Amino acid sequence: MSKLDAIQEYANSSTARRPATGNFALRVSGYTQDDQGRDAVTGVRLDTGETVTVVLRPYQGPLKAPRAEVKDFATLEGEISKVIQSVSSDEMRKQVLKGMRAKTEPGGVILVQRAYTERDTGIVSAGWLQSAAKYADHCTVVGNVMLRMDPVRYREQAGESHAYASATALATDKSQRIKSAAQLSAALMEAFSGRNESLGGPTAGRPIALIRLSDGNTHRAIEMALPGGKDPETNEYTLSTPSSAAAAFLSSPNGKQAAQLAGDPEIGVEVIPGSRFSLGPHAKLSLENSAGGLERINRAYRFKKDVPDETGFTPSYIVLHAVPGGHVFSTAEPLSNQPPLFHPREIATPHFSGRPTLVAEHRTEPNPDTDEAVLESPSDVPMPVSTPAARTSSPHP
C-alpha cells in the first residue's frame, strides 16, 4: 500500500474527480444488502470470472429518464423462467417479459454500467443497471469480445432508402499463423464455417475472415464476409459455402498476393475468424425514434466523435437473440468508458502484439440514453475502403 493512496487527484476538469469507470455483464447469483444496508446484487463477471457485489450509487443531478434500482431487479429463482415455460405462444411470452420490466432472476444477466470498485469496501459502485437476460436461457450474452459497431449502411429499395446497422466481432484467440498457401486456404474455410463457440456458434452470425499481413513495420488487413446473393432459381437469399468463399478470395488480386506471401519468412500472415450480427428490429426501431437516430449506435466506437463512418474495435460485451436463421443483437458496449480503439490491422492476437489506434477520453456520466463518447482529435485516421465482399486496410501515413 502506498503512502499516496489517500491523495485524491484533482485537475481543473469535472471528470478528474471521478474514478475511471467501466461496463460489464454480470451473471446474477442473488440479491442482498451490503454492510451499509444498501441494496445489492451479487454475481460473476462474464469478462473476468470474478465474483462481485454491485450497488447503485446515488445519481448526481436530475434523471432524464427513470432509472431501475436494485430492488426493481430482485426476484426469486424460477419466478420468471417457470412462467415462460408454462406459456404456449411467443406473443404471450413477449407480453410476460414486458410485464416483468427490470426483474432478473438468478442465472440471468444484468449489464453493469459506469462502474468502479469502491476503495474501502471492494464493492462495485454502478451508475446504471440494465436487464439483458431475464433468466438463464433467455438470450446469449458474450461478456468479452473484440467488437466494432459498424458504420450504418443505406440501401435503396423500391425508391426508398433503408438503413442497416451491424456489429462485427472477432475471435482473436482463434487467430491462425499462416506459413503456406495451403494453410491459408484451410484457415479461410475454417473462418467461413463460423465454428466459433465464443461468438455463439456456427449459425449465430454471418462469418467473416480478417487476413492480416505484416513485415514488422508495415501492416495490411483485408476483411471479408462470407459472400451471399439471391439464387436465380428460387429467388431466395443464400450464403456461399466456406470452400467457394475461400476460393473466391484466393482468386482475387489480394488473395493471390496473400497466398504468395504466406511462405515468405519475412512476412507474417494470419487469419482471424469472426462474425457479423445485424441489429434486431425492436432495438433498431427504438434508436430510429430517438434523438440522433440510428447513427448514434456507434458513437462509443468512433475514431472521431463527429465522423460516424469511421469506427474501431475494442473489448466489449454484446447481447444476442436467436431468430430464424441466426442471431441478432440488441445492445453492445465497450468494457471501458475510455476505450482503446483498434484499426483491424492493429488488433492484438497471440501472434501479434498490436496497439490502439486511438484511446477515447473518459466519458462523463449522464443517462445512457443521452450519453456521448468524446474522442481525442488525432491527425487523420485512415480506415478501410469497402467493397461489396471485402474490406482492405492500409497503414498509418
- Three-state secondary structure of the chain: CCCCCCCCCCCCCCCCCCCCCEEEEEEEEEEEECCCCCEEEEEEECCCCCEEEEEECCCCCCCCCCCCCHHHHCCCCCCCHHHHHHCCCHHHHHHHHHHHCCCCCCCCEEEEEEEEECCCCCCEEECEEEEEECCCCCCEEEEEEEEEECCCEEEEECCEEEEECEEEEECHHHCEEECCHHHHHHHHHHHHHCCCHHHCCCCCCEEEEEEEEECCCCEEEEEEECCEEECCCCCCEEECCHHHHHHHHHCCHHHHHHHHHCCCCCCEEEEEEEEEEEECHHHHHHHHCCCCCHHHHHHHHECCCCCCCCECEEEEEEEEEEECCEEEEEEEEECECCCEEECHHHCCECCECCCCCEECCCCCCCCHHHCCCCCCCCCCCCCCEECCCEEEECCCC
For residue 27, CA distances in Å to 111, 112, 124 come to 9, 10, 14
pLDDT band for 292, please (50, 70, 90 cuts).
Answer: confident
Choice between 273 and 395, residue whose per-residue pLDDT is larger: 273
Distance of CA 383 to the CA centre of its chain: 19
Average pLDDT of span 296-322: 93
pLDDT band for 312, please (50, 70, 90 cuts).
Answer: very high
- Residue 361 CB neighbours (<10 A): 13
Residue tagged 499481413 (cell numbers): 213
Q: What share of the chain has pLDDT > 90, as a percent?
A: 63
Which residues, listed in sequence order, are joined to residue 379 by a DSSP beta bridge?
A: none
| pLDDT above 60: residue 363 | no
One-letter amino acid of 326: G
Please tell me the predicted confidence (pLDDT) of residue 204: 76
Q: How far is 168 from 146, CA to CA, in rounded Å?
A: 8
pLDDT in tens, 62-120: 777 788 999 999 999 999 999 888 888 888 888 888 888 899 999 999 999 999 999 99
Residue 82 φ/ψ, nearest 5 degrees: -70, -35
Per-range mean pLDDT, top range of 154-163, 300-309, 359-368: 300-309
Average pLDDT of span 316-333: 93
Please tell me the predicted confidence (pLDDT) of residue 362: 45
| pLDDT above 70: residue 380 | no
Q: Give the residue extent of every domain in the chain.
A: 22-138, 146-393
Half-sphere exposure of 116 (CA within 13 A, CB side): 13
pLDDT band for 235, please (50, 70, 90 cuts).
Answer: confident
Please tell me the predicted confidence (pLDDT) of residue 62: 77
Share the mean pLDDT of the chain: 84
Q: How far is 277 from 327, CA to CA, in rounded Å?
A: 7
One-letter amino acid of 108: G
Please tell me the predicted confidence (pLDDT) of residue 201: 63
pLDDT band for 230, please (50, 70, 90 cuts).
Answer: confident
| pLDDT above 90: residue 271 | yes
Nearest Cα residue to 321 out of 368, 369, 283: 283
Distance of CA 238 to the CA centre of its chain: 26
For residue 143, CA distances in Å to 25, 109, 264, 281, 372 come to 6, 10, 37, 22, 22
pLDDT band for 161, please (50, 70, 90 cuts).
Answer: confident
What is the pTM assigned to this prediction? 0.83
Q: What is the CATH number of domain 22-138?
A: 2.40.50
Average pLDDT of span 130-134: 96
Contact 245, 192 (CB under 8 A): yes
Residue 36 φ/ψ, nearest 5 degrees: -95, 5
| pLDDT above 60: residue 389 | no
pLDDT band for 273, please (50, 70, 90 cuts).
Answer: very high
pLDDT in tens, 24-69: 999 999 999 999 999 999 999 999 999 999 999 998 777 777 889 9
Q: How far is 382 from 390, CA to CA, in rounded Å?
A: 16
Distance of CA 4 to the CA centre of its chain: 36
